[in-house]
Amino acid sequence: MRTGTGKIEVVLFAVGFAMAGLVLFALLWSGVGAYTDMARASGFDGTTFIDHATGQSVALDLVPLAEEHRLWSTYVTGGAADPPEPGRFYMTDEISHMTDVRRVFDGAKLLIPAGFFVMAIRLQRARAHSAEAMFRLVRDGAVTAGVVVAALGLIAALAFEQVFLLFHEVFFPQGNFLFDPATSNLVRLYPDWYWQGITFRIGLSFIAVAAAVAVAAAMGLRRARSTRLATE
């Protein structure tokens, strides 16, 4: 395999690996258990919602808040057909934004099979050359994907608000993601600790898996090389 072609194959494998892996971890960490763990780690045990029907404040501890998260998480990831009803806790603009979040998730889920397809094609091409080429592709591709995600994670750690805003401006150009913290229950349900926590859980999980895949591929490469040398 020529050097230029090898680099292209590594980049394509890394892109496929990242596409599938990041979306899978986003879905994995969207559940109630992760929300509860992140809340407790942040010292968050409750907040007050505004009952828009009466104008009164409603104190909610972590149990009902986790249930509110479950309703939203199930909806945006495609597990429920309809969002929570507008009126009491959520306004029309909040429902509209979360509907757009669901559309983004629907599109992102297509990246999982697409990523695996890209990786499968790259692996097939490399395997046709040799077992060593295949293991080298997996090793280098996993390392590349892990390094890129780690770099993005470092940028996010240094400038989380700017990165968070840029993400929303790119994926929600209609601009319906800006809510008044004084009146929005959605902001109270998902404060900064949630977005920071889920972002870094996704990133760290992906990096850990990428490292494990790279190590396993390196071991496979070593065995394949030893086998080839023993038969020469």
The predicted-structure confidence for 71-90, as pLDDT tens digits, reads as follows 999 999 999 999 988 888 99
Residue-level pLDDT at 4: 42
How far apart, in whole angstroms, are the C-alpha atoms of residue 84 and residue 75?
A: 8
- E strand residue ranges, 46-161: 46-51, 56-61
Each residue's pLDDT tens digit, 58-73: 999 999 999 999 999 9
Q: Which residues of the chain have pLDDT under 50?
A: 1-4
Instruction: Tally Cβ neighbours within 10 Å of residue 53.
Output: 9
Estimate to the nearest angstrom the gap between the alpha carbon of 228 and the chain centroid: 40
Query: Among all chains, which residue has been given the structure tokens 């992760």?
Result: 34
d(CA 95, CA 102): 11
Q: pTM above 0.75? A: yes
Q: How many Cβ atoms are within 10 Å of 221's Cβ, its own excluded?
A: 20
